Amino acid sequence: MEQETIKEKVKKWGSMKFLPFELPGYIMNYIDMPINFGKMVEELYGNVQSKKILDVGCGYFPQTATATIHLASKGAIVYGLDKVLKYREHKSELRKHKIIPVAADATEIGKIFKNARFDGIISRAFLGFPFECSFGFGKNNRAATEDFFRTCYSLTKDNSYNIHYKFNEENFSLEEKDLENMGFEVLNFFEEKRNPCGSVLILRKNL
């Protein structure tokens, strides 16, 4: 991932349209954006073959797990975590696409993966989900958000990335300096005004 081109790539994918029609509000982002996000993550890495990736809040059916499905199709080893995956049929849907389903809440990732390290941790709409449904995270629970990112830092391999998309910038309680104090290098911070791809946070854990 070339640092000098990251913002350009984010802007490019944010301006691309995959649906032949427009949809109002968050619906457009929810349907059109996952197609962009998976391909954007792939391009930022250059090659995701054999990369171990954790997708937090992945969903379970193709319309919401599009990004995860895309990365798995390119050879990534993808763990899809979502508390809705407690249902057998939901897990089966992900396994069809060679995704490893994990039925758990995001607050449990430190315990579940305590001995694991990932080449990437991603999320799509997990942070700042519309209607304040962000699983206890967001502006109303700063401590949970801080704990989540500290855990992500400990689970991320050196020289590897965290890439998080969200709908609403106002629902994120941390600032760049908070993430830097944890040890992350902030390569792209959430925009004040979202573009068609939404708003993307890209972090790197350096040596």
Mean pLDDT of 5-24: 62
* pLDDT tens sequence across 74-99: 999 999 998 877 666 677 778 888 88
pLDDT tens-digit readout, 161-205: 999 987 655 567 889 999 999 999 999 998 766 555 557 899 999
- pLDDT tens for 135-155 read 555 555 778 889 999 999 999
Mean pLDDT of 98-124: 92
Domain regions of the chain by residue span = 31-205
Q: What is the pLDDT of residue 110?
A: 95
Q: Say if CB 105 and CB 148 are below 8 A apart.
A: no
User: How far does the chain reach from its first CA to its final CA, in angstroms?
Assistant: 15
The label of the residue with tokens 């649906």 reads: 19
DSSP bridge pairs for 202: 163, 188
> What does the pLDDT look like over 114-139, one tens digit per residue?
999 999 999 987 776 543 444 555 55
What 3-state class would DSSP assign to 113?
coil
Which amino acid is residue 110, in one-letter code?
G
CATH number of 31-205: 3.40.50.150
Confidence of residue 33 (pLDDT cuts 50, 70, 90): low
